Copies of this chain bind each other. A is one copy, B any other.
Amino acid sequence: MRQGIELLFFAYRDFTAEPDAILTQYGFGRAHHRVVHFVGRRPQMTVGDLLMILKITKQSLNRVLGQLVRQGFIVQHRGAQDRRQRLLELTEKGRELERQLSAPQRARVAAAYRKAGANAVEGFRKVLLGIIASPDDRRRFDRGKPARR
């Protein structure tokens, strides 16, 4: 049991180390990576969506998001049905950043998958899904189809 807990610690530590180093060159931090990742993954998501995913406060998000918008990595535009919403989208510059940041992570996970085999990957997914607290968040992983909220 303790080993499982430590595996998560070490794996997460190494999983974030490479993108962190790249982010430093941009003057960004891990928070920027998370925003770029999720906006890239689900374009047209709202600020509220992002807040629910990251589970941080609006104020914390806004500092990071504001920087990304001002520096041209993300664009915002008003929602069509609900004009209060700001729909978020990566610019080409943002997509490039996303690719750069995710490259080492994809490589690391791909290598681990390859070494462990398809059956192990299935188990990895099952256990991590079980660790995720909320059914809504688990639903994001239903066969590639993200939950709507």
Contacts and interface: CB of A to CB of B under 8 A. Distances in A.
A6 interface: yes
A8 B11 contact: yes
A21 interface: no
Interface string A1-40: 1111111111111110100000000000000001001000
Task: Assign chain A's interface to a size class.
Answer: 35 or more
A76 interface: no
A108 interface: yes
Interface of A: 1-15, 17, 34, 37, 41, 55, 102, 105-106, 108-113, 115-117, 119-134, 137, 140-141, 144
20 contacts: A1-B113, A2-B41, A2-B106, A4-B113, A4-B124, A5-B105, A5-B106, A6-B41, A7-B128, A8-B12, A10-B132, A12-B12, A14-B131, A14-B132, A15-B131, A17-B133, A116-B130, A120-B126, A123-B126, A124-B126
